[in-house]
Homo-oligomer: A and B are copies of this chain.
């Protein structure tokens, strides 16, 4: 693309405050951009910034023709209205895919979203790359968040899976989950999905990233998924590790969305 039409895809990331985990995510995204030749624009604002200041930067990136994707790192400081800020991102640059118009198009047959949210898109990409049939399979999504569970369920449905959505109010999550050929878990409960929840041969995508105390670790904790990995390994035909499974895919899909956006804006196939 650079050679043919002289365009370099550009991704703007806005980070507010000094949460360590957010800073790590942003650093990883920046590194990933560099490694594939996406130009990254970074704005780091102090915790006590006003909503107006954040909106001003978004507006600037909306108008900047060299920026093809805008990502506001969540969570935002509690004094800011997240919905106002996310709504300010131009839908053509909403590489996170969280705009309700994108989610609506994702839910509707015959409509196409401009962007698919990165984490659920990464889950489906993992299934495709591992040649796992989705059509006609029973899929259970555990969790119904706007950023993972709900869009993952909608994507599985688009792929012709039979989809069940299990959540905190579900009375028999183990019974329902144990019927699934494909499980996507995104709830944030360490080791919740035990061996008894898993049908032999099922495929498991574990989106959870949960810190648990671990005195043997130099940091005093380690990261585990929603799924008890040791038990799942013995029963499932495939299971993603935490960390190192879905996380890197999310970043890859962010780059993919940024590239698609640049291609669309420049009418480049």
> Using a CB–CB distance below 8 Å, which chain A residues touch chain B?
83, 99-111, 135-136, 138, 144-146, 150, 154, 157, 160-167, 169-172, 176
Contacts and interface: CB of A to CB of B under 8 A. Distances in A.
Given A157-B165, A165-B162, A107 B107 contact: yes
Given A102-B104, A110-B146, A162 B157 contact: no
A175 to B, nearest CB: 9
A171 B144 CA distance: 24
A136 B169 contact: yes
A82 B17 CA distance: 46
Contacts of A157: 144, 165, 167
B166 A162 contact: yes
Contacts of A107: 100, 103-104, 106-107, 150, 154
A154 B161 CA distance: 17
Contacts of A138: 172, 176
B162 A164 contact: yes
